[in-house]
Amino acid sequence: MSYCRWSSMNWMCDVYVYEDVGGGWTTHVAGQRRAIPPIPDLLSGSLSMALHRWSGCYWERESRTIVYPLRWRGMAYRLWTRLSTFWHNRVHMGSLHLIPLRPIGLPHDGESFNDPSPADCADRLERLRALGYKVPQRAIDALRGEVVAD
């Protein structure tokens, strides 16, 4: 399971963190990052989640279909889904190829680490963030949550 990927934070994340099948928690640090942030992705944003909740749709197991309680909300949500999917595939992903990658220039560029526990991994991510790497807070929170769960 990964806690964050290069694509996290709209492709501006500098670390890739996951629980390693070989044991421990592995962190890969990027050697370069995009010079500017890409165009925001409509498909994965909070607006998409809010519209999903607003539509009231749910999965009906017996008929194996998505049910929309109100027809007009279903039509609006399906239209949004088509528009945001087009935006994601053509505009957002297309913009990624146009943005140049630049060296980060910090001490741990391109390095990999393996920590024995999620707490140690969370501590490492906080140290990397303090150095200037872009690390999502939700990855640190998830690793800290693993410690509480154990």
Look-up of token digits 């049910």? 67
62 with 91, same domain: the answer is yes
Q: Please write the tens of the pLDDT for every residue from 131-145.
A: 999 999 999 999 999
User: What mean pLDDT comes out for the span 77-104?
Assistant: 90
29 with 64, same domain: the answer is no
Percent of the chain predicted with pLDDT > 70: 97
Mean pLDDT, all residues of the chain: 90
User: What mean pLDDT comes out for the span 4-12?
Assistant: 90
Query: What's the domain range around 80?
Result: 46-96
Residue 30 in tokens: 């990027």
What total of structural domains would you count in the chain? Answer: 2
Residue 126 in tokens: 């906080």
8 touches 19 (CB < 8 A): no
Q: Which residues contact 107 (CB under 8 A, 6 or more apart)?
A: 131
31 with 59, same domain: the answer is no
Q: Last residue of some domain: 54, 80, 96?
A: 96
DSSP, collapsed to helix, strand or coil, labels residue 42 as coil
57 with 21, same domain: the answer is no
91 with 105, same domain: the answer is no
User: What mean pLDDT comes out for the span 49-70?
Assistant: 85
